[in-house]
Structure 1
Amino acid sequence: MAEKESTVFILDLGASMAQTNSGRKESDLDWSMRYVWDKITDIVAANRKTLCVGIVGLRTDETSNKLQEDDGYENISVLQELGQMTMSSLRSLQSSIKPSKTLSGDAISAIVVAVDMIDTFTKKLKWTRKIVLITDGQGELDDDDLGDIAKKMNDSNIQLTVLGVDFDDPEYGYKEDGKTSTKAANETTLKNLVNECQGGIIASIAEAIDELDTPRIKSVKPYKTYDGPLTLGDPETLPAAMNINVERYFKTHLARPLGASTVVVTSEQAGGTQSTHTLDDDGMEGIEFSAVKQARAYKVNDPDAPGGKRDVEFESLAKGYEYGRTAVHISESEHNITKIEAQKAFSIIGFIPWNKYEPFLNMGETCVTYARKHDAKSNLALSSFIWALMELESYAIARIVTKDGKDPLLVLLAPHIDPDFECLYDVPLPFAEDVRSYRFPPLDKVVTVSGQTLTKHRLLPSDELTEAMSDYVDAMDLSTYGIDGEGGSAEYAPIDETYNPAVHRVNHAVKMRAVHTERPIPETPSVLLRFSSPPEDLIEKVQSRIASLVESAEVKKVPPKAKGRRQRETAKPISGLDVDALLGAERKGRVSEANAVPDFKRALASTEEISEIEDAAKQMGTIVRSLVTDSFGDSKYSQALECIGVMREELMNLEEPGLYNSFVRDLKKSLLSGALGGDRRDLWFKIRWSRLGLVEQEQSEASDVTLEEAEEFYKSR
């Protein structure tokens, strides 16, 4: 169960907070609220009833608190009582956060009000209690009872954090010049109070704001996945079988970005009906949202029913599985036979040496297994088993069923020994269907068709290339490229400083939009992109290695693809034979329906005059119309589409897009008018889907069709 936390934020809303200082473009209040909104949105996203927040306004125009009858508590207002923070309360709170017109208000008294709120709400129960004061230190402070206040906070286990606007912070490296005497005295007073409080913190809020972009790792309590015996052999039939009481927990767990919910705007008519469900986090600028409900209806063909279909109940349906193009149905009774009625168990079924196992077989998330707590016998037995695996350099293979009825899973158990603890790590193993075996030719030799083995070949790297690549890889080593706190070498990208941009970027965007609905989403924080590319200075250092590698590999720039020309030289075969003469002079330039695509390409390759290109295009157009006209349903549509695509590409290469555009315009009219054997609109939709319309100017410079005309052409009219 998550710990119960109560936090009270004391926000200084005095008139001085409306000023801009230290070269900032936003007011001190707006700048400070960056930190507050970040913390509050984290709390809203957690959606925990045991995570409670209270807001106290300091130096407000009005006074509203339980202690206002006493002297010294003026201009302090409770903006939100301690309780769960929701989107609705976040919206209402935003309208209250604005600078006041007064400079009066005692921050020490505001702390007393916050302490009273926490004591009243949490009573003597087990809670984590925090007070966060954010101020510019410009108001007057009463420091008479600091010792008593600190003692009360220590007795109540309340942690005090003071974040000051432009406060001096030697550790952060900031000192404000020209500080007023009032602010300097207030800083000293607050520092004295914090020093007397257990676990108190005082710092410049600039440091807290600078750290907002760095993701905060969520601490998760251990989640137990299995609690029971780990066996080797059958303890019920074999007295010597191993039986150790263990507990298994998640060690790693996949983190996913926030999921989106589909909602609709609640209509006024449906607002009071039972069919409308309003979300808890409603009230976005007066707009309420409703969850989208889904309903399924199952129908079967029935000629006697109205409309030819009849509704059926879900319970009367059988599960169907697609097998090729056939739907194979399995009844519930037959389906139950395929399910394994597994019992909860964790049993070892074999062992494998370390050097016989490939790491790429690891699948899924890692779990860790310990001996059961307060069970000395199980601790000793598991320790012996772990040490045996270490000495034999072996892994164990185990079958685990976490609960009765769950599917069994095979896992690999790896021993781990530290001075403080011993455990077994396990990862799921793949099924045979999960393993894909691909065969590749060897990288160090070439085997000819006759069986001869070659170690030097144009497809094999030379010794110079291998050495150049080895030097380049060594020069790009990142394992010791980082710098530790003492200036020595360290790991460049430690795991605890590497964050998932997909997860944390979505979190940043959602929090920003929750607070500021109109502002644009800021750029991705640099901390998330820190390791997205290699260090620039390292790349500069290895340029000489890259040059050597390029030279050894004989890397050459591929020339750009030459554009087609109207007058092309006919490709001559190496043999010197006249293929056209062998095929017969009468077939030169002819395009037959039986072999349309090769004939069309051959005809264009042998053209010498523009009239010959036009003739080949006309023949191909006639073949396409014939295929469409003779097609029974859509039986010849695929062949027609292939011919159209080849015709379009070849004429573009010859810089004659006008011939294709004339053809496709006429084809569209014929298809939509029914002139090609009836209604052929379905073929027109396929042409649109394949983007085989007009050739526009960006695709071919010889075309006189604009992009707008090409897009207009796809409309069915």
Structure 2
Amino acid sequence: MAEKEATVYIVDMGRSMGEHHHGRPMTDLEWAMQYVWDRITATVATGRKTATVGVVGLRTDVLMPDIRRLRETIKPSNTNRGDAISSIVIAVQMIIEYTKKNKYKRKIVLVTNGTGAMSDDNIEGIIEKIKEIDIELVVMYVSCRRDSTFMLILCSGADFDDAEYGVKEEDKDSRKAENETLLRTLTEDCEGVYGTLEQAVSELDIPRIKVTRSMPSFKGNLTLGNPEEYDTAITIPVERYFRTYVAKPISASSFVPRSGTEPGSQAPVKGNVEGDALTSVRTSRTYQVTDESAPGGKIDVEREDLAKGYEYGRTAVPIEQTDENIANLQTFAGMGLIGFVQKDQYDRYMHMSNTNIIIPQRANDNASLALSSLIHALYELESYAVARLVTKESKPPMLVLLAPSVEADYECLLEVQLPFAEDVRSYRFPPLDRIVTVSGKVVTEHRNLPSADLKDAMSNYVDSMEFITTNDEGERTDDLPIDESFSPLLHRIESAVRYRAVHPHDPVLDPSERLTQFAHPSEDMVKNSKSRLGKLISTADVKKGNPFPNYIQKKFLLTNAFRFIVPPKTKGRKRQRETEKPLSGLDVDALLSLEPKRTKISTENAIPEFKQTLARAENIDAIHDAVQQMAKIIETQITHSLGHSNYDRVIEGLGTMREELVDYEEPALYNDFVRQLKGKMLREELGGDRRELWWFVRKGKLGLIGKSEVDSSAVEEEEAQEFLAAN
């Protein structure tokens, strides 16, 4: 269970906190609230009911509202009256009343600029009370002046100057110096933490690593042999914990505006925050089976009436509950050793799960001694153990590998899941270093095989991009330290959610540099590998491709006496495709051109001939002619269709025409035709009422070609959706 926490933030909202310092565009209060909001939102994001937060306003003329409406109230006040020591007393009283004598992690955070009157009356009693109830006191000081060139603390230790961050106040007010001395003394006597906000704010972009308390996923016996049959069998009580686990980003929830008329719901009360006007989406599932005698061809069934099924390839294999109970393997929780394997005979790619650790049962000296003996035996023999693991009764068994881990002050077994024979798929690929001819001859030098020089050039290029290098002193340095690399997906989503919670109407900020610092190689790495890359390019004889191959006809657009070359990607994809040249060197295009070109598409074989005509089209006019012929054929099929006898052929023809014109990036031809076709069908000009056919067109999504499919289309997505609407 997570530890209970109670934290109170004391925010100095005096008039002096509304001033601007150090050239910052924001006030001292706004700047300090970055730290406070970061801590509050981090606590709220955990979703723990045992983590509570409170806020006390210092030197303010307003009352602190609910924390959800706190952002609108945190503003500099019109007064400088207020005692920071008294605010600490109030925070202590709040924590005492809330936590009582229960076990809590108590904390008070004071954010102030140290101005205003402070009284040290009964300071000893306050210190004694804070230490009695075990409250951690943190004082964050907002500096009003800054000397960026000051790098040493030259003043007495009784202030909050920070040399590392260039914080040093000259000509400090005597009252402020006394206040700093008082706060520092109070913090030190309470064994708390004090410092400037310079460091705290500068570290806000460092992703926060969540430390979780691992719970045992298995508690049982590690056995060697059957202890029920043999006295010589070994039984060691052990526990299993996660060593590595995937950290997943927070998931989104679905909400809808609260209507107020929904049964059992209430309309939002005036003054509530925006989140109170939302309600979670409730989902329901219905199950249907085919029944031709029922209206619509399907009937609803209850979940209890369904049989469980398993996928076997593409087939669903149903199995009744009684049959499944018979087929299930009766298992009991436990971990049994079934064999050993040499370390060099195991391939690491066999891992199938996260890594776990196996440790002896807590407070069991005999188990610790026995497991330690097994660990050291495996370590000295450079071997791994293979075990059968069942985490809970009636759970399917797993095959796991146990590897010894011996550290200076810690030892355990590392455990990963192994695949069964059914989990392994073997594939045969041709070798990369040789070619085997049909006659069985092995060829090691071939134009399709890399030469020795090319291998060396590639090896040198890869070595030049190593993250672990040596500096001028010969020491190894890591350009990608694991403790400074973070998951962009995880931390970016968390930071965006926390920021939007405080600033609901502002755009989300760009990701921090700490998340993107490893998104691109460092300048030194690029510089070091540039010469190796040039050597690799010359050795591999890499040539720059022609952006306008000969088989692509160049198009020019003359506008305002300037000539622009249309990029190749704006032309149809199929017209860019180059015909593969056979090894014989024959000019296939020339041979095919000797055949008479088809100019008319027949009704009996419309779709193949339509594709052939488009493939042989040399200009846009030929494509237009083929589309017009196909359009007439489709309209004829509709007109002469007896009922829906030709509807399948019509839908297939429309789909082929649409697909081909999308590939040729000629959406206007299809859109013009399908608009005319829809009008004729709805006006019953194609042999009567064809609204059923239009329903098939809508079902097959054969409407207009929008910009999302072809950039050159003039049809917006809204227009394409409206076109397929029922009429």
Q: When the two structures are superposed, what TM-score results if normalisation uses the length of structure 2?
A: 0.81
Find the counterpart in structure 2 of residue 135 from structure 1. Answer: 112
Q: CA deviation at 1:464?
A: 2.0
Judge conservation of contact 2:127–2:190 (CA < 8 Å) in 1.
yes
Find the counterpart in structure 2 of residue 526 from structure 1. Answer: 513
Judge conservation of contact 2:704–2:715 (CA < 8 Å) in 1.
no
Find the counterpart in structure 2 of residue 479 from structure 1. Answer: 468
CA RMSD, aligned part only?
4.1
Q: CA deviation at 1:444?
A: 1.1
1:343 aligns with 2:320: no
Name which of 370, 377, 380 aligns with 1:381. Answer: 370
Matches within 5 A, 1:350-369: 350-369=339-358
Please give the secondary structure, in 2, of the residue aligned with 1:390: helix
Q: Which moved more, 1:149-158 or 1:302-311?
A: 302-311
Find the counterpart in structure 2 of residue 221 from structure 1. Answer: 213
**Structure 1: which amino acid aligns with 2:43?**
I
Q: CA deviation at 1:590?
A: 5.4
Matches within 5 A, 1:157-556: 157-166=134-143, 167-177=160-170, 179-198=172-191, 200-270=192-262, 273=263, 275-276=264-265, 283-285=272-274, 287-298=276-287, 312-321=301-310, 328-480=317-469, 489-556=476-543
Judge conservation of contact 1:277–1:291 (CA < 8 Å) in 2.
no
Q: Distance in 2 between matches of 1:669 and 1:242?
A: 84
**Structure 2: which amino acid aligns with 1:12?**
D
Judge conservation of contact 1:482–1:491 (CA < 8 Å) in 2.
no
Deviation sequence 1:137-177 (CA, Å, 0-9, x none)? 11122245545543443333222211011152123332235
Q: CA 1:650 to 1:36, structure 2 compared with 1: closer, same or farther past 3 Å?
A: closer
Please give the secondary structure, in 1, of the residue aligned with 2:217: strand
Q: CA 1:685 to 1:446, structure 2 compared with 1: closer, same or farther past 3 Å?
A: farther
Please give the secondary structure, in 2, of the residue aligned with 1:43: helix
Matches within 5 A, 1:646-661: 648=661
Judge conservation of contact 1:624–1:643 (CA < 8 Å) in 2.
no
Q: Distance in 2 between matches of 1:395 and 1:432?
A: 19
Judge conservation of contact 2:291–2:297 (CA < 8 Å) in 1.
yes
Q: CA deviation at 1:117?
A: 3.2
Judge conservation of contact 2:92–2:130 (CA < 8 Å) in 1.
yes
Find the counterpart in structure 2 of residue 574 from structure 1. Answer: 586
Find the counterpart in structure 2 of residue 20 from structure 1. Answer: 20
Deviation sequence 1:609-628 (CA, Å, 0-9, x none)? 99877665555555555677
Judge conservation of contact 1:641–1:687 (CA < 8 Å) in 2.
no
Find the counterpart in structure 2 of residue 47 from structure 1. Answer: 47
**Structure 2: which amino acid aligns with 1:290?**
T
Find the counterpart in structure 1 of residue 723 from structure 2. Answer: 715
- Consecutive unaligned residues in structure 2, runs of 5 or more: 144-159, 556-574
Q: CA 1:708 to 1:612, structure 2 compared with 1: closer, same or farther past 3 Å?
A: closer
**Structure 1: which amino acid aligns with 2:36?**
V
Q: Which moved more, 1:642-651 or 1:200-209?
A: 642-651
Q: CA 1:403 to 1:35, structure 2 compared with 1: closer, same or farther past 3 Å?
A: same
Q: When the two structures are superposed, what TM-score results if normalisation uses the length of structure 1?
A: 0.82
**Structure 2: which amino acid aligns with 1:186?**
N
Q: Distance in 2 between matches of 1:574 and 1:307?
A: 59
Q: CA 1:121 to 1:382, structure 2 compared with 1: closer, same or farther past 3 Å?
A: same
Q: CA 1:691 to 1:457, structure 2 compared with 1: closer, same or farther past 3 Å?
A: farther
Judge conservation of contact 1:625–1:676 (CA < 8 Å) in 2.
no
Find the counterpart in structure 2 of residue 644 from structure 1. Answer: 657
Q: Distance in 1 between matches of 2:73 and 2:614?
A: 77
Aligned length: 674
Q: CA 1:468 to 1:634, structure 2 compared with 1: closer, same or farther past 3 Å?
A: farther
Q: CA 1:625 to 1:173, structure 2 compared with 1: closer, same or farther past 3 Å?
A: same
- Consecutive unaligned residues in structure 1, runs of 5 or more: 63-76, 81-88, 700-704
Q: CA deviation at 1:524?
A: 0.9
Q: CA deviation at 1:125?
A: 4.1
Judge conservation of contact 1:671–1:681 (CA < 8 Å) in 2.
yes
**Structure 2: which amino acid aligns with 1:217?**
I
Q: Distance in 1 between matches of 2:648 and 2:294?
A: 34
Judge conservation of contact 2:343–2:383 (CA < 8 Å) in 1.
yes
Q: Which moved more, 1:428-437 or 1:462-471?
A: 428-437
Q: CA 1:187 to 1:332, structure 2 compared with 1: closer, same or farther past 3 Å?
A: same
Judge conservation of contact 1:410–1:429 (CA < 8 Å) in 2.
yes
**Structure 2: which amino acid aligns with 1:222?**
S
Matches within 5 A, 1:577-588: 579=591
Q: CA 1:310 to 1:471, structure 2 compared with 1: closer, same or farther past 3 Å?
A: closer
Q: Distance in 2 between matches of 1:536 and 1:600?
A: 55
Please give the secondary structure, in 1, of the residue aligned with 2:324: helix
**Structure 2: which amino acid aligns with 1:131?**
I
Q: Distance in 1 between matches of 2:285 and 2:56?
A: 50
Q: CA 1:602 to 1:6, structure 2 compared with 1: closer, same or farther past 3 Å?
A: closer
Please give the secondary structure, in 2, of the residue aligned with 1:648: helix
Deviation sequence 1:182-238 (CA, Å, 0-9, x none)? 33332233223223232x221111211121121221221221111111011111011
Find the counterpart in structure 2 of residue 7 from structure 1. Answer: 7
Q: CA 1:593 to 1:349, structure 2 compared with 1: closer, same or farther past 3 Å?
A: farther
Q: Distance in 1 between matches of 2:708 and 2:189?
A: 80
Judge conservation of contact 1:688–1:714 (CA < 8 Å) in 2.
no
